[in-house]
Copies of this chain bind each other. A is one copy, B any other.
Amino acid sequence: MFQTSILVRFGDLDAAGIAYYPNLVNFLHEAFEDFFVGHVGRPYPEAFKEGLGCPTVKVEMEFLSPVRYGDHVDIDVIVERVGRTSVQIRYEGAVGGRPVFKARNTMVVVDMASFRPTPVPVWLRERLEAAMEPAGGR
């Protein structure tokens, strides 16, 4: 498991003064990028420039409580499954301990030159597996 924190900006808000939910979906990608820097040990932009892409093929997200301007959303990043060419990650967001969202995102690893699925590279697989919960976890 890895944790990061993302600040809610003015541009994330909607007319109700809370975070607009597609912008919270964007937070998942930002948490994924932070996970690369903080856990994988390599910025995702660098891997992306070398041809590694991770398009999302499925996302499920529940919004449990409103997220407001200036909130710091603490996001747990938990790898649930590493397949041959796909990765499933769970994200749990909280503000000051209050759960605000939980999400599950499935990505396919692609070679950006062809945009076709490619096996998860070994260096990435190892780090992804290290972020999986131990058997018997919640």
Contacts and interface: CB of A to CB of B under 8 A. Distances in A.
Contacts of A61: 58-60
State how many copies of this chain the complex holds: 4
Contact of A21 (B25, B33, B43, B63): B25
Contacts of A122: none
Interface in A52-91: 53, 55-63, 66, 68-70
A119 interface: no
A58 B62 contact: yes
Instruction: Determine the interface band of chain A, counting residues with CB < 8 A from chain B.
Output: 35 or more
Looking at chain A's contact residues, the main secondary structure is mixed
Contacts of A48: 10, 15, 69
B11 A13 contact: no
Given A58-B63, A63-B56, A63-B58, A14 B16 contact: no
Nearest 10 A-B pairs (CB), nearest first? A45-B70, A22-B25, A45-B69, A13-B15, A22-B26, A15-B17, A60-B60, A21-B56, A22-B22, A58-B62
Interface of A: 9-11, 13-18, 20-23, 25-26, 29-30, 33, 43-46, 48-49, 53, 55-63, 66, 68-70, 112, 115
